[in-house]
Amino acid sequence: MPSTVRGELERLLARGVPRAGAALAFARRLRSVPARGRGDAAVLEAARRLQAIVLTADRRLAETLRGAGLAVLGPRDRARLQLRPALLPGNARSTRPRARRPKG
């Protein structure tokens, strides 16, 4: 976990943001890695450097990471996680199946 993310969680807890305490308790169980920058930029920098799979529920961050060639683990629904592979150059940004158009 990027060190800057842990700091961000501590600030959220101090402001009384709901569920920040649970997120920080989980984060404290993970190894902290130095990162440059703040927020999403720090996550992207650390993940690129370590070639890490990133766990996030942030859809915009997930697409940014996948576009940068990194895999993302995120919620599929309330009870399951889904590993989304890195996007290869030239692939569509969405991995959802396209709706079929009616013939005629």
pLDDT digits (tens, 9 = 90+) for 48-86: 999 999 999 999 999 999 999 999 999 999 899 999 999
DSSP, res 81: E
pTM for this prediction: 0.74
- Asked whether residue 11 carries a pLDDT value surpassing 60, the answer given is yes
At 71, which amino acid appears? Answer: A
Alpha helices in 1-104 (DSSP H): 3-14, 20-27, 39-50, 59-67
Q: Where are the domains of the chain?
A: 1-51, 53-88
pLDDT digits (tens, 9 = 90+) for 22-53: 999 999 999 999 988 888 999 999 999 999 99
